[in-house]
Amino acid sequence: MGARLKRTSSGRVRRQYRATDPGSGVLITVRRAIEAHQGGELDTAETLYHRALQMKAGQPDALHFLGVLCHQRGRSEEAIRLIRMALRVTPQHADAHNNLGNVHKETGNLAEAEACYRSALACNAHHQDALGNLVVVLEAQQRPEDALQVCSALIAQAPQLGRAHYLMGVHLRRYGCEIEDMERAIACFRSAIRCDSMNVSALDALGVMLYTLDRYDEAIGVYRDWLGREPNNPVPRHMLAACGGAAAPLRADDAYVRHVFDGFADSFDEQLLKNLDYHAPQILVDALLGVLAVPTGMLDVLDAGCGTGLCGPLIRSHAQRLDGVDLSGGMIEKARLRGNYDALMVAELTAYLQDNPATWDVVLSADTLVYFGDLLAVLSGAYSALRPGGWVAFTLEAMDGEAVGAELSSSGRYRHARHYVEQVLGSVGFGEVTIAEAAMRKEMGRPVAGWVVLARRSARQGG
Ligand SMILES: C[S@@+](CC[C@H](N)C(=O)[O-])C[C@H]1O[C@@H](n2cnc3c(N)ncnc32)[C@H](O)[C@@H]1O
């Protein structure tokens, strides 16, 4: 469900109902449906929308908002049909065109979405949501010049609208080539926050831009400011530490990981594979297969921090049983769709390993222990979760040169020194340790140095 869709629909509905006849039974039912809808009581809302439609077939608001609700519940085809029916009754309804555009946008039909936003603007040239949404679909269709034109029109029309400045900042960040463009993007994000102090996307984008340009003090200022407004938000808390403004936690806290990866689940594969040249799963599985003596198809394997399941297809044919665990329910749902796993669990990794002694022959973990600074607890857990003779295989980001220990970097992930990794593995009891250097992803177009680590639990019982 798109947040904008929800916000748009709820905001408009209230205003509309002040203008109509509050005494009519069907309108009272629609109003109650909308209140339930806004309160997140979707079952009640759906029942009431249907009741309103039984009372008056074709009631346009019931059709329109039932359509919005169907989309929220994953029934987007039905949503499109219902909103189109509403538009046949009230063809000049800009909000309904806009919401229909949102359904198309979120189901990947960008050309259709663009047409709907343009219809909304034909009904109301000042429809700010439709203008902003049009910018987004033009960008997504790789039409930067058209997007810039609409975004400029939106700023001219609504100079106090935070989203307008945010979208301009995103445009400059994406297409700007000069340092001046980055400065302008920063200024746009700051304007967005001045207009709307709770514009979290702008706060996030501003922090990232500043630390990317090595302006850590300013980034710290942004995260402190954000934390002041939202003291319980795990993102500014984690990023403040990542930029050096607070002590680093032993590992990224659960709320931060869930927040980041639940929000990232839909675009993770495309972002990592297409934009970040990510190939940690392949490198890790290749390294593991190089040391395994067991015939393929005989192993019980845990994909630890499985995410969307990119390791699944690579390891499946070697596993008799393949389990996956991850803190993010959103990522686990994506992994489930791949169909490679025998079981998938939403759980914190260290606790899950500790709770399952001597269960797997392999614990495989691609790009997940980068969210752990202190590796002792999680690797002790992996040791106890392995059967004697089992292998742990994982990737890390590498800390430079002769450095010791681990550090939280401004990306929000940890880097580890080779010596520290060896020392922890040794202290836990692992042997046959190999640590190879490899770049497994890019950041800002540059390869990120990493480690591919393999280690074995002694084959002796109790070893
Ligand atoms: C960068 S993704 C990698 C996913 C997958 N292994 C891959 O290579 O595509 C990191 C994953 O680690 C998970 N994660 C981070 N900390 C975790 C923890 N403490 N317990 C369980 N999962 C965790 C995140 O939710 C996320 O899905």
Residue where the block lists tokens 């025998």: 342
Contact by Cβ (8 Å): 205, 189: yes
C-beta of 330 in contact with ligand 1 (< 6 A): no
Indicate whether residue 98 lines ligand 1 (CB < 6 A): no
Report the SS3 class of residue 419. Answer: helix
71-94 core/surface letters (b: 16 or more CB in 10 A; e: else) = bbeeebeebbebbebbbeeeeebb
List, in order, residues 6 or more apart from 217 with CB less than 8 Å away. none
Task: Assign domain 268-456 to a CATH class.
Answer: alpha beta
The helix/strand/coil state of 452 is strand
Is there an atom of ligand 1 within 6 Å of 367 CB?
Answer: yes
Centre of ligand 1 from the C-alpha of residue 298, in Å: 25
Which pLDDT score is estimated for 404? 76
Residues 445-448: contacts with CB under 8 Å, at least 24 apart:
448/397
Is there an atom of ligand 1 within 6 Å of 306 CB?
yes
Is the Cβ atom of 310 under 6 angstroms away from ligand 1? yes
The CATH-assigned architecture of domain 1-124 is Alpha Horseshoe (1.25)
d(CA 298, CA 328): 29
302 lines ligand 1 (CB under 6 A): no
- Residue 42 is predicted with a pLDDT of 96
Task: Please work out whether the CB of residue 328 comes within 6 Å of at least one atom of ligand 1.
Answer: yes
User: Which contacts (CB < 8 Å, 24+ apart) does range 74-78 have?
Assistant: 76/103, 76/106, 76/107
* Ligand 1 close to Cβ of residue 370 (< 6 A): no
**pLDDT at residue number 461:** 65
- Tens of pLDDT along 295-318? 678 899 999 999 999 999 999 999
Q: Which of 257, 310, 311, 395 to mutate to test the pocket of ligand 1 (most atoms within 8 A of CB)?
A: 257
Pocket test of ligand 1: the residue of 328, 368, 448 to mutate, having most ligand atoms within 8 Å of its CB, is 368
Q: Which two tokens mark 318? A: 């070697």
Phi, psi for 462 (deg, rounded to 5): 80, -5
Mean pLDDT by 10 residues, the chain (463 residues): 34 38 79 96 97 95 97 95 97 97 94 98 97 96 96 96 97 90 96 94 95 94 94 95 96 96 87 82 95 81 97 95 97 94 98 98 98 98 97 95 85 95 97 95 86 93 61
Under 8 Å CB-to-CB from 192, ≥6 apart: which residues? 162, 163, 164, 165, 166, 169, 199, 202
Cite the residue boundaries of each domain of the chain with CATH code 1.25.40.10. Answer: 1-124, 139-247
CA-to-CA dists, residue 270 to 91, 264, 364, angstroms: 37, 10, 22
Contact 456, 431 (CB under 8 A): yes
Would you say the CB of residue 196 lies under 6 angstroms from ligand 1? no
Place of tokens 């029916």: 85
Q: Please tell us whether the domain made up of 139-247 is placed in CATH 1.25.40.10.
A: yes
The residue whose CA has the least distance to atom 9 of ligand 1 is: 310
CA of 9 to the centre of ligand 1 (A): 34
Closest C-alpha to ligand 1, atom 27: 307
Q: Would you state the pLDDT for residue 216?
A: 95
- What number does the ligand 1 atom closest to the CA of 272 have? 9
* Alpha carbon distance 306, 325 (integer Å): 6
Tell me, using a 6 A CB cutoff, whether residue 66 lines ligand 1.
no
H or E element, residue 107: none
Residues spanned by CATH 3.40.50.150 within the chain?
268-456
Q: Is the CB of 95 under 6 A from ligand 1?
A: no
Alpha-helical regions (H) of 243-319: 254-264, 268-269, 280-291, 312-315
Residue 295 confidence (pLDDT): 64
pLDDT for res 16? 39
CA distance 195 to 132: 15
H/E element holding 66?
helix 60-72
Report which residue type is found at 258: R
User: Tell me, what's the pLDDT at 277?
Assistant: 84
Residue 438, class by beta-carbon neighbours within 10 Å (0-12 exposed, 13-18 middle, 19+ buried)? middle
- Confirm or reject: Cβ of 139 under 6 Å from ligand 1: no
451: nearest Cα among 272, 331, 287: 287
Cα radius of gyration rounded to whole Å, the chain: 26
Interval between CA 8 and ligand 1 midpoint (Å): 33
**Residue position matching structure tokens 């796993």:** 341
